Structure 1
Amino acid sequence: MLGEIQLARYRFHCKVITPLQLPAYAGSTLRGVFGHALRQQACLMRARSCDGCTMLAACPYPQLFEPQRLTRPAGAPPLLAPYAIEAAFSSEAAAAQKWHSYRPGENYQFDMVLMTPQAIQQLPLIIASWRQAFGRGLGRGDGQAELLRVELISAEDREEPVPAVHASNLTIPEFSAAEDVLLHLETPLRLEQQGRRIGERELTPGIFLRHLIRRVGFLLGVQRPNLFPLEQVHQLNALADKVQGGERQLQWCDWSRYSTRQKQKMTLGGLVGHWQLQEVPEQLLPFIYLGQWLHVGKECAFGLGKYRWIKASQAGADILYQRV
C-alpha cells in the first residue's frame, strides 16, 4: 500500500573541542541551537523576526523549523515539522536530571531523521547549520564541538557515506497476515486525548494506533496527496480499535527542559518501556514499521515518541521483564 517513501536517518559525528555538558536528554537543547543556527543560515533579510516577511513562503527556515507559519488552504491538514532529532535517552538519568560531561577529544553523536523530499534536499543547509551551532557552543558553559562527518543510516542501522546528490527511499515491507508486535518505547511517548494526557492505565492499542495513523497520514500527504481518503482512514481506525494489548512493562518518566521561548523550566513526561500488541492486522503493520522513523505523539521534533519494533528473532524470552 505504501511502497517507497522518501525519508532518511542521518548520524552526525562530532569531536568535542571544549568541555561539553548536556542535559540527560539533549534533544530539546539540540533543537534549540539548531533552529537558531538554521535561521541565521537561511534568512536573506537579516530580520529579527519572521513576522511580516515577504520572503516567508520561499525561505527554507519556516519550511523546516516552523511550518505552522506557512499559509495553507482552508481545510488542508496541518504541516508538521519534517524532522526528528534523536539523542541518547536514559530514563534513570532523565529522572535524576543528570548532566552528561564530555571532555575535549571525546566523540559525540546523534541522529536526525528527515521526513520529506523537501527536507532531504536541504541537507547541505542543515549540515552547515549544525556546524555553526556546535562551533558557537551549546549546553551548560557553551561547550564547542567540531562536526567531523555525516553518515546515512540504512534501515538495517548500517552507516553509509552520504552521496553528494541523493534521494533516500525507504521501502515499506509488504505484510500478508496479522502479526504480534513487540514495541520498545525508547524515548517518552506523550499522547493526549481531548486535552488530557494518556498515562499507562489509559493507553490502549487503539489510542496509540490512531495517533500513528494520523501522523503518518499528515506527513505522507506532503509527498503523495490523497493517499489516505477519509473513508480509508475511518476503516483503519476501526481496525485499530480492535487490536488487543499483550504483556507490557511501561513506566512514566518525567524529565525537565528549559524553554528559551517561554523563559521557564518545563517538566515533560511520557511512557517508556516494552509493550506487546497482539494480532495486529496486516493493513496496520506498515504504519508501525514507518513509525520507527516518524515517531508518534507530542514533541517528536526533539526526539520524543521514538520506538523500535523488536522482531521475534531479536527478542529474548525475558525482554518484557528487563529494566527500562
Structure 2
Amino acid sequence: MNRWPLARYRFRVRMDTDLTLPAFSGSLLRSVFGSALKHQVCPGHGDQPCPETCAYRVLFEPAIQPGERFPDAPPPLIFQFTEAHQVMADDYLEFTQTLLGPALDYLTLITEIWRQAFVRGIGRNRITGRLASVALEQPEGFSVNKEWLPVYSSTEGRFLAHQPGLELPFPEPSGDLTLHLQTPLRLMESGQLLGQGRLTTEAFAKALLRRIQQANHLYLHQAVPDWWQFRTWFEPVVLSGKLRKIGLNRYSSRQQQAMRLTGVLGDIHLTGVCPELQPWLMLGQYLHLGKNSAFGFGQYRLTSGCNGLHNG
C-alpha cells in the first residue's frame, strides 16, 4: 500500500498545578483547541465570515460543499484521549492528535495553538502548563509499544526535519484480531445504538468502510476498496465480543447546550481475518469509527488473538 498522508503526533505539556480531567477527555481537548485557534487566526476577518482559506475553517469547521457525497465534513484533525484522570503539578500531560492530508501542513501552527492554550489555561479553573515537546508516532505492526520520533522541543524552540505519513505494515497470514475500544463506540442503526447482541459483522464492515471512504474522499485521496470488495473480505469473518453500554455528558460550545451521548466499550473480536483486510483495520485505528469520531470517540487499539472473549 502507498504512504498515506496522515500522521499521529504526541504532545507533552508540563503542568504548573494539579489538573483533573473528565473521562474520555478528547472532547475537552477539542474545545480548548478550537477556542484557542479561533482566538489566534480569526480576529483579522473583522465582522466578515471566515473565508474558506482561513486556518480555523480548514482545521476545525470545514465547509460542506453542495452535492457532496458525504453530508457531513469532519475536520482533518482527530483528537485522542489521555488515559490520565489527574496530572499533578510538574508532571506531564500527554495526548495525541492525528493529522490528515492538508492538516499536516499546519503542524507549526497547531503546536503554537496548543502552547498558547496552556499558557492561558484550560478548564473552568484555567489550569496552566508549558508545552515541552512534540513527537511523531512510528507504527510497528501490531506491537502495543510504539516508537516516538522527537520533532519539536521547547528548549530548542524549532522543529526537526521529518517525513510525516503512514506506511501500513505488510499483512500477516489470516488469523484472529481484537479491537480494544479505548473510547465509546457510537454505531447507530435506525436511531438505535448497536451494542451487545446488535452489532453484526455487516454493520461493523459498513461502518469501517464508510469512515475510510469519507476520510479518503475529503483528505487522503488514495485507492480504497468498494463495498463489493469489502463484503467479500468480510464474508468469512465471525464477529464476537463483550460490550457494555456507557453514557456520558458533553457540553457543546457551538450549540450552547449539554448533550447526553451513549456508546459502548469493551473488546470486539474478529475471527478469520484475511490478509487483504488487515491494513484497513489498522488504518481504522487512526481514523476511529462511528459517530463523533472527531471528538475522539470510536478509538480502538488492534492486537492479534482473542483471549477471554465471548460470543455476543
TM-score in same-fold range (> 0.5): yes
* Residue 227 of structure 1 pairs with residue 223 of structure 2: yes
Match of 2:183 among 175, 184, 187: 187
C-alpha deviations, 1:238-267, integer Å up to 9, x for none? 543653213x12211222222223333322
Shift of 1:86: 1.2
Can you list the C-alpha shifts for 1:262-299, whole angstroms capped at 9, x where unaligned?
33332222111112111123332221011111111111
Q: Please report how far the alpha carbon of residue 187 of structure 1 lies from its aligned counterpart in structure 2 after TM superposition.
A: 1.0
2:294 to 287, 301, 316: 301
For 2:249 and 2:204, the matched residues in 1 are separated by 24
1:57 counterpart = 2:56? no
Q: Distance in 1 between matches of 2:79 and 2:219?
A: 21
CA contact (8 A) 1:221 1:227 kept: no
Q: Could you tell me which of 66, 77, 80 is aligned with 1:83?
A: 77
How many corresponding residue pairs? 297
Q: Offset at 1:177?
A: 4.7
Q: Does 1:209 align with 2:194?
A: no
1:112 maps to 97
% identical equivalent positions: 35
Describe the SS at the equivalent of 2:21.
Answer: strand
Paired residue for 2:149?
A: 160
1:83 partner amino acid? L
Letter in 2 for 1:104: A
The equivalent of 1:265 in structure 2 is 258
Structure 1 unmatched runs, 5+: 91-99
Alpha-carbon distance change, 46 to 103 in structure 1, aligned in 2, over 3 angstroms: farther
Compute the RMSD of aligned alpha carbons: 2.5
C-alpha contact 2:285 2:300 (8 A) present in aligned 1: yes
* Aligned with 2:278 (options 262, 281, 285): 285
Residue 102 (structure 1) shift: 3.4
> What residue ranges of structure 2 are gaps of 5+ in the alignment?
141-145, 152-158
The AA in structure 2 aligned to 1:244 is V
Asked if structure 1 preserves the Cα contact closer than 8 Å seen for 2:239 and 2:270, the reply is: yes
State the distance in 1 between where 2:288 and 2:253 align.
Answer: 24
Q: Deviations over 1:150-175 (max 9, x none)?
A: 11121131121115444412112333
Instruction: Indicate the residue corresponding to 2:248 in structure 1.
Output: 255
| Letter paired with 2:215 | L
TM-score, normalization by structure 2: 0.85
2:120 is aligned with 1:124? no
Are 2:234 and 1:245 equivalent residues in the alignment? no
Offset from partner CA, 1:122-170 (integer Å, 9 cap, x none):
0011111111111111124121111111111211311211154444121
1:93 counterpart residue number: none
Structure 2: how far apart are the matches of 1:287 and 1:25? 25
Q: Does 1:66 align with 2:55?
A: no
TM-score (ref. length: structure 1): 0.82
CA distance in 1 between counterparts of 2:147 and 2:286 reads 15
Comparing 254-263 and 105-114, the one that deviates more? 254-263
Separation (CA, whole Å) in 2 of partners of 1:194 and 1:253: 19
Tell me, yes or no, if structure 1 residue 103 matches structure 2 residue 88.
Answer: yes
- Match for 2:128 among 144, 165, 170? 144
